[in-house]
């Protein structure tokens, strides 16, 4: 949630409405952010802070000693049902609440190691094929995490009486990982320990001896395979580096250049012809905050006190955003979790030592406020004295982004600025955010010079941001007074100045925040009966990327943005000619929104009217509408055109139809498809299929075959048949869905790439070798342009291809 919770917003907006008009006018007409902040913060009363604290207490962010047994018991229930994924997450929740070096944390780590161990075996047993190449690269992943958890359990004091059980599991992992020498030593240590206690050893050792030979043979097979394994995976990450980095824009390619225009501000252009797929920007976020997902406030009561819902906060590292099932929690709170102890320590040193006691408050105030705080905390690690001087100067300037301000770049290099006439002389215009040498870097200086658009925000919104930041500053002051030695002097003595900076960052974020997205499975489940991807793109985090922020918007952009961890990569999605502007989509894309909706979205959030070619073209074709939203004539099947009254234009079909008659039918169809998906989710596959087939029959009478709703139905049918293991029918329906995706998004779109990936999985699972290889090639070609070779789907496609080339051809059906 970007903004504060609704209760706090309503409270502040009501407070604003009750202010005397003279005070409202003073804040509304304030010339600087400093004046807005000081006038607003003076109005924050103790009762306001008490109300905010009551909201913050609604989030369980501390360590609850009663939570680990609860989560361990719930995890055990999942484990017994062979839902090892669900069990893993619940054990992780228990770990996050347990205190270090306690029985609770050691037991949860040990139980999670068991879930990870069996998760590996269960995941692979559900596949129809277990290719050796895929086994080599993925089979060891869970064992590695399992081994880590065993070590953690032992480090935190796992009970001596239970040590043999986890040690035997450790041996299994070591053998699978190929660490035979270490496995042998662990076995010898076990034998020595059991010699003194023979009654404990007999049963376990019989199991171990039976499996040890099999595991050694598996390792030998893997070693033989490794010698001939193609070097594709080891070389894949080389493409993640820019071939030639820009000297003046670190993180950007030498193929682009930074320009400045009085009207549209900073922007990037191509310095040469750029081919599709070329990497143009590779930038780590200056700051990012994980979007934890929906976290309902705590309702007092035993059943709702400990939430068992799985969120992003349970699956991704809170610092580097990497996906992990084996999270390591902060020692001081339950909500911050990391992929490793190293990430945890880095986060603590950089910012979490200040954020840790404020978890409930930060969740209440929202992600924008959290990013604003974290940005200023990170600024301390640059030259704090210079930052403070800059802030003091900026706070008194009307134009908070004025390049004329003190301490800013005076004269950037010639290709990084514009020119203007002053007293008859040509004066170079410095580019805001650049240093004295004209270099635009990923640092606080660049972040500070992102436009806040103060004049465009409503007075109520600025008041909400100012009071939220003020309340946060007061909590920081309280923490500083209780632990004065923990805060750097620059932070403590200049907290009001940093408060103005945080207010500026909050206002910047509406236009400059970048959603960090990932491809995610819709739900966690231990079931693997449908080994076909049903992934979707979701917002994982929000970050600030100074270089990415240089790109202007187009509703039909010439670039594609993707993320690996906290790193944003921008690639050319089409050929870009020399001198052409590099354009990025801010969200409203021509393939997802009609022109009127896009214009409204861009105007309300980004404060501009879009004049890109796509918008100009669609404004002149408003009566036609996009093909994926078209109704069709029930007599001849031709697309209907018009506004409120639609007709197909055929002389044989003279009767027009009202749009108002068709929209309710579409809404009813959408509800039925939603019901079918619920049936699918509950395992009632046959009923779901019958309902979807009925919906499809009804749709044929009034929806175009290229309508997005038709594509959604075909995709749902493909999922249902795949769950039944009927790969041929599933592929047939997915191919129909694919045609709709191609019409809506284009044959080279990233959406098309994901659908081709799903189709390749279907052909792979059905042993349709020629069809699978053909589809794999098409999917690779599309996805490579948008992601490069490091993408998980491309890696999996390459593994499927390697496996299929060793199998005899068995045809499933016609190729796409």
Q: Is 632 helix (H, G, I), strand (E, B) or coil?
A: strand
Quote the pLDDT of residue 493. 57
Q: Does 280 score more than 90 pLDDT?
A: yes
Q: Is the pLDDT assigned to residue 10 strictly greater than 90?
A: yes
Checking if the pLDDT of 723 tops 70, the result is: yes
Strand partners, 282: 569
Q: Give the pLDDT of residue 386.
A: 65
Helix (H, G, I), strand (E, B) or coil at 339: coil
Per-residue pLDDT for 808 more than 50?
yes
Q: Check whether 816 has a pLDDT greater than 90.
A: no
Q: Which residue has the higher pLDDT, 359 or 792?
A: 359
| 665 HSE (CA, 13 A, CB side) | 16
pLDDT, tens digit, for every residue of 419-447? 444 444 444 556 888 888 888 988 998 99
Task: Indicate the SS3 state at residue 186.
Answer: helix
pLDDT at 400: 43
Give the CA angle between residues 606, 611, 616 to the nearest 5°.
Answer: 135
Mean pLDDT along residues 622-650: 78
**Higher-confidence position of 102 and 306:** 102
Residues in CB range of 279: below 8 A, 6 or more apart: 239, 240, 242, 243, 253, 569, 570, 571, 788
39-78 pLDDT tens trace: 999 999 999 999 999 999 988 899 999 999 999 999 999 9
SS3 515: strand
When pLDDT is averaged across residues 771-787 and rounded to a whole number, the result is 94
**Confidence at residue 1, expressed as pLDDT on a 0 to 100 scale:** 75
With bands split at pLDDT 50, 70 and 90, how would you rate the model's confidence at 234? very low
Task: Place 484 in a pLDDT band, splitting at 50, 70 and 90.
Answer: low
**Mean pLDDT value of segment 253-272:** 91
Closest CA to 718 of 668, 752, 758, 769: 758
Distances (CA, A) of 655 to 25, 645, 649, 721: 58, 10, 10, 39
* Residue 410 banded pLDDT, cuts 50, 70, 90: very low
| Structure token digits, residue 394 | 């900026």
At residue 74, the pLDDT reads 94
Name every residue whose Cβ is closer than 8 Å to that of residue 125 and which is 6 or more positions away in sequence.
Answer: none
**Per-residue pLDDT band at 718 (split at 50, 70, 90):** very high
Mean pLDDT, residues 738-743 taken together:
92
Q: So what's the pLDDT on residue 233?
A: 33
What is the Cα–Cα distance from 532 to 737, expressed in whole angstroms? 15
Q: What is the pLDDT of residue 632?
A: 86
Model pLDDT for residues 699-712, shown as the tens digit of each residue: 998 998 889 999 99
pLDDT digits (tens, 9 = 90+) for 665-689: 999 999 999 999 899 878 899 999 9
Q: What was the pLDDT predicted at 478?
A: 84
Please report, for residues 93, 126, 186, 249, the alpha-carbon distance to residue 558 in angstroms, rounded to integers and kept in the order given.
43, 41, 57, 20
Tell me the average pLDDT across 518-530: 52
- DSSP code, position 428: E
- Range name among 127-141, 385-399, 629-643, 751-765 with the lowest pLDDT average: 127-141
Instruction: Specify the pLDDT at position 535.
Output: 66
pLDDT number for residue 401 = 38
Confidence of residue 340 (pLDDT cuts 50, 70, 90): very high
pLDDT at position 96 is: 95
262 vs 693 pLDDT, higher one: 693
Report the predicted TM-score, pTM, of the whole model to 2 decimal places. Answer: 0.85
Domains and CATH numbers, the chain: 66-222 (1.25.40.10), 252-285+547-621 (2.170.270.10), 670-806 (1.25.40.10)
Using alpha carbons, select from 126, 148, 141 the residue that is nearest to residue 176: 141
**Given this model, what pLDDT does residue 426 score?**
43
Q: What is the mean pLDDT of the chain?
A: 81
Look at residue 272 in the predicted model and tell me its pLDDT. Answer: 95
- What's residue 626's pLDDT? 78
CA distance 594 to 588: 9
Query: What is the greatest pairwise CA distance in the chain?
Result: 99
Model confidence at 92, in pLDDT bands (50, 70, 90)? very high
Q: How confident is the model at residue 367 (pLDDT cuts 50, 70, 90)?
A: very high
pLDDT score of 27: 95
Q: Give residue 760's pLDDT band: very low, low, confident or very high (50, 70, 90).
A: very high
Distances (CA, A) of 396 to 114, 406, 467, 503, 504: 60, 11, 20, 14, 13
């Amino acid at each position: 949630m970007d903004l504060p919770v609704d209760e706090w917003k309503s409270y502040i907006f009501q407070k604003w409405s009750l202010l005397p008009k003279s005070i409202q006018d003073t804040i509304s007409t304030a010339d600087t952010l400093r004046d807005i902040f000081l006038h607003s913060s003076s109005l924050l009363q103790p009762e306001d802070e008490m109300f905010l604290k009551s909201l913050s207490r609604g989030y369980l962010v501390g360590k609850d000693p009663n939570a680990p047994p609860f989560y361990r018991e719930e995890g055990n229930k999942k484990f017994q049902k062979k839902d090892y994924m669900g069990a893993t997450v619940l054990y992780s929740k228990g770990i996050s609440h347990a205190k270090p070096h306690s029985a609770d944390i050691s037991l949860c780590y040990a139980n999670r190691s068991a879930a990870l161990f069996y998760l590996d075996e269960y995941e692979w047993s559900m596949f129809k094929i277990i290719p050796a190449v895929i086994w080599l690269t993925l089979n060891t992943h869970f064992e590695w995490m399992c081994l880590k958890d065993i070590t953690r359990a032992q480090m935190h004091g796992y009970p001596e009486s239970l040590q043999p059980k986890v040690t035997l599991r450790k041996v299994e992992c070591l053998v699978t990982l190929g660490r035979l020498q270490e496995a042998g030593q662990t076995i010898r240590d076990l034998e020595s320990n059991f010699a003194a206690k023979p009654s404990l050893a007999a049963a376990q050792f019989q199991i171990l001896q039976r499996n040890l030979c099999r595991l050694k043979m598996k390792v030998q097979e893997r070693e033989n395979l490794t010698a001939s394994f193609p070097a594709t995976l080891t070389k894949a990450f080389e493409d993640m580096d820019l071939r030639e980095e820009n000297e003046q824009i670190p993180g950007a390619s030498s193929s682009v250049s930074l320009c400045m225009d009085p009207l549209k501000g900073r922007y990037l252009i191509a310095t040469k012809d750029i081919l599709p797929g070329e990497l143009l920007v590779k930038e780590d976020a200056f700051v990012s905050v994980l979007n934890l997902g929906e976290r309902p406030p705590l309702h007092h009561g035993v059943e709702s006190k400990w939430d068992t819902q799985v969120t992003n906060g349970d699956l991704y590292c809170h610092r580097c955003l990497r996906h992990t099932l084996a999270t390591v929690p902060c020692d001081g709170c339950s909500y911050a979790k990391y992929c490793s102890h190293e990430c945890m320590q880095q986060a603590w040193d950089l910012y979490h030592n200040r954020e840790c006691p404020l978890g409930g408050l930060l969740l209440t105030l929202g992600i924008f406020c959290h990013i604003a705080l974290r940005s200023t905390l990170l600024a301390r690690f640059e030259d704090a004295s210079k930052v403070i001087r800059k802030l003091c100067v900026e706070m008194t300037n009307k134009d908070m982004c004025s390049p004329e301000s003190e301490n800013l770049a005076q004269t950037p290099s010639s290709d990084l600025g514009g020119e203007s006439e002053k007293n008859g002389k040509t004066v170079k215009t410095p580019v805001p955010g650049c240093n004295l040498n004209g270099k635009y870097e990923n640092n606080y200086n660049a972040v500070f010079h992102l436009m806040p658009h103060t004049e465009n925000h409503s007075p109520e919104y600025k008041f909400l941001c100012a009071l939220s930041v003020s309340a946060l500053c007061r909590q920081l002051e309280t923490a500083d007074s209780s632990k004065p030695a923990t805060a750097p002097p620059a932070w403590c003595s200049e907290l009001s100045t940093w408060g103005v900076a945080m207010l500026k960052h909050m206002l910047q974020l509406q236009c400059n925040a970048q959603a960090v997205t990932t491809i995610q499975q819709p739900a966690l489940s231990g079931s693997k009966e449908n080994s076909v991807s049903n992934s979707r793109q979701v917002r994982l985090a929000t970050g600030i990327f100074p270089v990415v922020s240089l790109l202007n918007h187009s509703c039909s952009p010439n670039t594609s943005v993707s993320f690996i961890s906290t790193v944003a990569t921008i690639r050319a999605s089409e050929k870009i000619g020399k001198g052409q502007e590099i354009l990025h989509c801010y969200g409203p894309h021509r393939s997802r929104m009609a022109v009127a909706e896009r214009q409204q979205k861009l105007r309300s959030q980004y404060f501009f009217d879009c004049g890109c070619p796509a918008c100009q073209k669609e404004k002149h074709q408003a009566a036609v509408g996009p093909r994926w939203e078209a109704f069709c004539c029930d007599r001849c099947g031709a697309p209907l055109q018009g506004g409120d009254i639609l007709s197909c234009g055929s002389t044989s079909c003279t009767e027009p139809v009202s749009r108002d008659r068709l929209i309710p039918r579409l809404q009813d169809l959408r509800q039925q498809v939603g019901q079918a998906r619920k049936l699918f989710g509950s395992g009632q596959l046959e009923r779901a299929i019958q309902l979807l087939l009925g919906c499809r029959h009804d749709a044929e009478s009034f929806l175009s075959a290229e309508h997005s709703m038709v594509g959604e139905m075909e995709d749902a049918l493909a999922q249902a048949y795949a769950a039944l293991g009927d790969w041929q029918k599933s592929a047939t329906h997915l191919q129909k869905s694919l045609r709709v995706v191609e019409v809506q998004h284009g044959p080279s779109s990233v959406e098309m790439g994901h659908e081709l990936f799903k189709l390749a999985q279907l052909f792979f699972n059905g042993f349709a070798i020629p069809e699978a290889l053909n589809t794999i090639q098409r999917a690779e070609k599309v996805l490579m342009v948008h992601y490069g070779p490091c993408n998980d789907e491309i890696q999996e496609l390459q593994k499927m291809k390697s496996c299929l080339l060793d199998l005899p051809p068995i045809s499933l059906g016609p190729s796409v």
